[in-house]
Amino acid sequence: MEFMKNNLHAHTSATTTTTTTTTRLICQSVVRIAAHVHHTNCPMDKVYLRYDTPSEELHISFRYVNADLKLDREFNFCRRMSEKVEDALTRIRGNIEKELFKKAKKGKRKNDTQDTTELLPNALVDGKIEFLRGEQKLEDMTFIDILADTVDSLYLKILDRNFQVVINQPWPASGNLKQVKDWLHCGDGLFYNTCNEDVGYFLKLVLKPGNNQGQFGPSVEQISKGEVQAGPGTCPFETRHCFTKQRLKGNSWRMVSYNILADLYADSDYSRTQLFPYCPPYALKTDYRKQLIMKEVMGYNADIICLQEVDLKIFSFDLQPLLEDDQQAFKGLMAQKGTCGEGVATFYNTNRFDLIETRSFNIGENIKVTPVFSELWQKIQTNEKLAERICDRSTTLQLTLLKMKECEYYLLVANTHLYFHPDADHIRLLQFGLSMLYIEDMYKKLIKQLNLKDESQLAIIFSGDFNSVPECGIFRLMTQGFVGDDFIDWNSNPEEALVGVSLQQPFRMQSACGTPKYTNFTHTFAACLDYIFYQSDRLEVEQVVPLPADEELKSHIAIPSVVFPSDHVALVADLRFKNL
């Protein structure tokens, strides 16, 4: 891919906002649009035939350049496979004549009574337009018959020029874009980092389509809808990048957990007027926020990334292309929340880890049918309203079993985003308790399946947005191993109170980043809701990347803002196995 820029004047205002340091918006926005609006550059020596059985349509495209006739134009035709070649050639000749007549009329004086047909160049009048196989003329044959035979020696002859026939090579979708001259070449590759020098310029992507067979079609071009605009300047996460300049090696790896704020919840009238009224509307748009998110995530140089509130389109069209390229070498796994358009995603560095197994399931849908849940489910059913509410939730648990490349040590990485409602401490505690029951069951089975010499070769990490402050039951269950039946969370909603239920889990777990003052910060609520829990008897923390200071979070009242792309902040920690 080629990137070029031009400072031609815009007739419409830009519909997207780019920053001076991002990579994905330019490539991603252009790639999406290029399938619909573009200009192709057909080589001058080929004619492209495209068809797809059982369709009757046959698409013919070629570029005809003739300096003597002062003609340089791309011609596109849609014919029928059952049509005789002679009929198609008649149409081709007619279209070429039409273009020449246009030029002739432009050059003709108003008072000139000469018939325009007399203006047709002798070269075309006397010349021939033929479709041949070698020296054999094929006018009386249909395209079906011709294409059923070998196509190696097929060519289209227009006057004295031969066009090689190329069948079903990669081709961009149809469209048209005016040519613009004086473009400056500014980069090659799948991504392009905009810079200060690009501000005020349009960007053009030049893409050559190809397939796995090494075939390439004509290049396609796409110009950005608007000019590159200045970004927000230095963002607070760039200060955090000072602690993550290098990737880790050996037994150490870097873990990131981050709720990136789904577009589903950010770009709506309610979010603009109620949730985040302090944030400029343009800074809530996905095209703006995703650039900051990707720049931030990339700068952490992580080995494992657990994300929450990931839009499916952002996962597929932005995060995967960016992180799964050869240089970054990540592999992404997505777990959707029911029928919702967002979910949780885990990315792991394929240079550091091998994927052994991945699972994801909806807790509410599986609570009734999962054997390990049966005892707790029986107790939940004693309160009908509680049972209905927890089953209606789309909360998803994602589990990823990774093996370190250099040794027989394994990580079981859990990722989730628990129910958000203020009166649902009991729901969240139950969701978490069910998750830990499932993890414990999977852990016991893995110890046997992996045939480990020592159980310390397998360690658990559980990260996510738990929507639970440190004083609530989730943090207690994880760090102390037990929550009694008299704990206050069970009565967060009196109508759904659960009596006589206690929870426990057998693992020694701690929070890698401790209990920071804020991991979520809006104008109406700010608290610690996100954690990276790790198995503390097997893993140890080497570094915690400092979180943004209070004054940074408050610099634009709250977050999200022009410099914070989410209402949460990322947790970043370096860990290692203790006995390795």
Asked whether the beta carbons of 102 and 117 are under 8 A apart, the reply is: no
Residue-level length of the chain: 580
> What is the C-alpha to C-alpha distance for residues 257 and 252, in angstroms, rounded to an integer?
17
- Tell me the CB-side half-sphere exposure of residue 6, using CA atoms within 13 A: 14
Give Cβ neighbours of residue 259 (< 8 Å, ≥ 6 apart). 307, 308, 309, 417, 465, 520, 530, 566, 567, 568
> What is the C-alpha to C-alpha distance for residues 152 and 165, in angstroms, rounded to an integer?
8
Long-range contacts for 93-99 (Cβ within 8 Å, ≥24 apart)?
93/124, 93/129, 96/64, 96/71, 96/124, 96/129, 96/158, 97/124, 99/71, 99/73
> What is the C-alpha to C-alpha distance for residues 215 and 210, in angstroms, rounded to an integer?
5
Asked whether the beta carbons of 265 and 309 are under 8 A apart, the reply is: yes
Residue 28, H or E segment: helix 24-34
- The verdict on whether 465 is a catalytic residue reads yes
Residue among 320, 274, 330 nearest 300 (CA): 330
Give the DSSP letter of residue 183: P
DSSP string, 325-387: STTT-EEEEEEE-TTSSEEEEEEEETTTEEEEEEEEEEHHHHTTT-GGGHHHHHHHTTSHHHH
In order of 258, 263, 363, 429, the CA distances from 395 in angstroms are: 17, 18, 6, 12
- Which residue type, as a one-letter code, is found at position 391? C
Give Cβ neighbours of residue 244 (< 8 Å, ≥ 6 apart). 254, 299, 300, 301, 302, 545, 572
Give the DSSP letter of residue 269: H
Single out the catalytic residue among 311, 465, 489, 574.
465
> What is the C-alpha to C-alpha distance for residues 142 and 90, in angstroms, rounded to an integer?
14
> What is the C-alpha to C-alpha distance for residues 81 and 144, in angstroms, rounded to an integer?
5
Task: Cite the active site residues.
Answer: 465
